[in-house]
A and B are shown apart, each in its own frame.
Chain A
Amino acid sequence: AQSVTQLDSHVSVSEGTPVLLRCNYSSSYSPSLFWYVQHPNKGLQLLLKYTSAATLVKGINGFEAEFKKSETSFHLTKPSAHMSDAAEYFCVVRPLSGNTPLVFGKGTRLSVIA
């Protein structure tokens, strides 16, 4: 079975400082891992995905994540936060198979302080 743990329900950073959103996964298969962002009252937007290629994955809006198998982690980072980054972020796992459902973490709310 697959599961995802987002270690922080809420992260608050100052504008211009680094962002770190933590995610650990559990999977009996080699997983596909995703980060999605959801702005208030909006749908989900894919930030980046890992599918067994390069372990450092670059996404949109300056975000990146590193797959670390030894730590079963897939933390999301960004060097410098912008006000527009304030949103809910979901770490998601899926086995490497096309039609299986995604398993969502509980989400981390990112606040950016001016």
Chain B
Amino acid sequence: GAVVSQHPSWVICKSGTSVKIECRSLDFQATTMFWYRQFPKQSLMLMATSNEGSKATYEQGVEKDKFLINHASLTLSTLTVTSAHPEDSSFYICSATSGLVAETQYFGPGTRLLVL
């Protein structure tokens, strides 16, 4: 099946620094990628939808200037958490789809971010 990777798998950073998380589709072209955030023992919350070559669409309440999303190619999307604070600590998961009707979304393994 299709494989989606994320890098890094976990990261610890100081408050005020920026962190970049990569999401790659390894064996298919992902026209659309989604970024989710998951708090402990909670469900996934959609942050934004990213289409290759265009600006991401952010969900209500998600700060686009804080969570910068770039989808420059059909196999790579990046999420940059700018000026991270402890409340940004979370599990970030991406998913990717080739966009065909009823196509399955494939999820990355997630990136755990801890901001000190």
Question: Contact residues of A with B, CB < 8 Å?
Answer: 32, 34, 36, 41-46, 49, 51-52, 90, 94, 96-99, 101-102, 104-107, 109
Contact = CB atoms under 8 A, between A and B. Distances in A.
B89 to A, nearest CB: 14
A96 to B, nearest CB: 6
A109 B42 CA distance: 10
A98 B30 CA distance: 11
A99 B51 contact: yes
Contact of B109 (A43, A51, A96): A43
Contacts of A45: 107
B104 to A, nearest CB: 6
Given A36-B107, A43-B93, A98 B101 contact: yes
A46 B106 CA distance: 8
B34 interface: yes
A2 to B, nearest CB: 12
Contacts of A46: 104, 106-107
Contacts of B32: 98-99
A106 B43 contact: yes
Contacts of B46: 101-102
Contact of B107 (A43, A49, A105): A43
B29 interface: no
Given A104-B43, A105-B43, A107-B43, A98 B99 contact: yes
B106 to A, nearest CB: 8
A51 B105 CA distance: 13
Contacts of B51: 99
B49 A99 contact: yes
Contact of A96 (B34, B44, B101, B108): B101
B95 A102 contact: yes
Contacts of B93: 43-44
B15 interface: no
Given A90-B44, A98-B97, 8 more contacts: A41-B112, A43-B108, A43-B109, A52-B102, A98-B98, A102-B34, A102-B46, A107-B42
A42 B110 CA distance: 7
